[in-house]
Every structure is written in structure tokens, then in C-alpha cells.
Amino acid sequence: EAQVTQNPRYLITVTGKKLTVTCSQNMNHEYMSWYRQDPGLGLRQIYYSMNVEVTDKGDVPEGYKVSRKEKRNFPLILESPSPNQTSLYFCASSSPSGGNTGELFFGEGSRLTVL
Amino acid sequence: AQSVTQLDSQVPVFEEAPVELRCNYSSSVSVYLFWYVQYPNQGLQLLLKYLSGSTLVKGINGFEAEFNKSQTSFHLRKPSVHISDTAEYFCAVSDYKLSFGAGTTVTVRA
């Protein structure tokens, strides 16, 4: 089954404790992206990757890091989480042209709470 | 840079009634337009898209949307909703990058 898998789905952590949210897709997509969803703000892009070893900042990259060492994986790293990073996070992927034509496939989301 | 405005944050509707969700955008160039749906505790999935051609676009689950270039709108409609249509709906616009609206929560009541 074609899917984007995120882990963990739910996480409660404390300020400053490094964490990683993993994302894996099995559709051989070049393009992958991370979004955060906050009430009243919709989805905002954090980082995206057009291919292996190619990443770029989205609209709200502060406090986040990413890496793309393999085509299928695109982990999101919070080096020193803060309470304003409490949010619902989505990973998404698409085929080469999908990056700006919107045909994105989303994971089920990771709800992060930073105390 | 483009922006996306969903004019209603919440839309309550009775089962079997019609629904319209409004979306306006601003952009200085040609755009692609999308509606995504997010069911409770799930990720987003594509409902329909407009890339070119006919301005009336049909999507999954009986939804359709009409692109109006002069009014820069892309409103989503369904003639008769079901309880299972309860979800959050996002309009998205892309010129060189994709931007999402803030979302409209549709609650269908029996």
C-alpha cells in the first residue's frame, strides 16, 4: 500500500530535549516536505526537499533541521524544542512535478507537545 | 507572493443539505488550485484540483469546484452532504510554491 509513515504519532517532551520525528514514504517520490498545522493558521511549510541531499527552507524553518540522506526518508529534527513548537506536524511527498502542483500525499500526523 | 483566504472558518450544515465553502486567492501569475480534506485524526488527502482547461472541476465523494479567474475564487460545493463529510477542508494555491488557507471546519448534523 502506498503510504507516508510518520513516527511517533504522539509525543510529549520537555523544553530543550532533542527529538526527531521520522518520515518514510514507499512511493519512490523525489519531493518531500514537512508542515506544521496550528488552529487558524492552516498548514505552514517548515522545510522541503527536491531530492536526496537537496533541502531548502520553507516559511517557518526556525528551530528545525532536516536531512535527506536517502530518497525514502526525511526526518525532522528539533535540536532544542520550545513550547512554541507544540503543534501537529505532517510529512508529505509527491512525484517530481508535484512539488508545486499540489498533488501531495500526507502522513497521518505527529502531535507534539513541548512542556 | 500569493495568499489564500478561506472565508468561513466553520460551516454547520444538516445532512442532505447543500454546502459551499468559499476560497479566494491573490497572485500576480497563473496558479494551480486545490482542495484537500482532513478527516478527524487523519492526514490530508486531495479532493480535487484545477490545473488548466474546464473551470468546473469534479472531485471525489461528489464534490466539485469552480475556478473563477476574474473573481480569483475557487469555491467548493456539494449538492447533498452526508454525516461522513464532517471534516476540515483546505484550499491551496500554487504558483511556484504551494500555500494553504486556514481551513474550514464542516460539521454535518442529522
pLDDT of residue A95: 80
pLDDT of residue A1: 84
Q: Is A4 on the interface with B (CB under 8 A)?
A: yes
Of residues B6, B98, B102, nearest to A102 (C-beta): B98
CB burial class (10 A; 0-12, 13-18, 19+) of residue A69? exposed
Please state, in angstroms and rounded to a whole number, the distance separating the CA atoms of residues A74 and A58.
14
Which residues 25-54 in chain B show a CB within 8 A of chain A? 32, 34, 41-46, 49, 51
pLDDT of residue B35: 96
Please give the full DSSP string across A13-34, using - where no structure is assigned: E-TT--EEEEEEESS--SEEEE
pLDDT of residue B41: 86
Residues of chain A with pLDDT under 70: 96-102
Please state, in angstroms and rounded to a whole number, the distance separating the CA atoms of residues A44 and B57.
26
pLDDT of residue A69: 97
Residue B32 to residue A102, Cβ atoms within 8 A: yes
Please state, in angstroms and rounded to a whole number, the distance separating the CA atoms of residues A76 and A108.
15
pLDDT of residue B15: 97
pLDDT of residue B23: 97
Residue A35 sits at the vertex; the CA angle it makes with A41 and B91, to the nearest 5 degrees, is 55
Query: Residue A85, SS3?
Result: helix
Could you tell me whether strands B19-21 and B73-78 are parallel, antiparallel, or unpaired per DSSP bridges? antiparallel
H or E stretch at B49: strand B44-50
Residues of chain B with pLDDT under 50: none
pLDDT of residue B72: 93
- What the block records as the C-alpha cell of B10 is 466553520
pLDDT of residue A17: 96
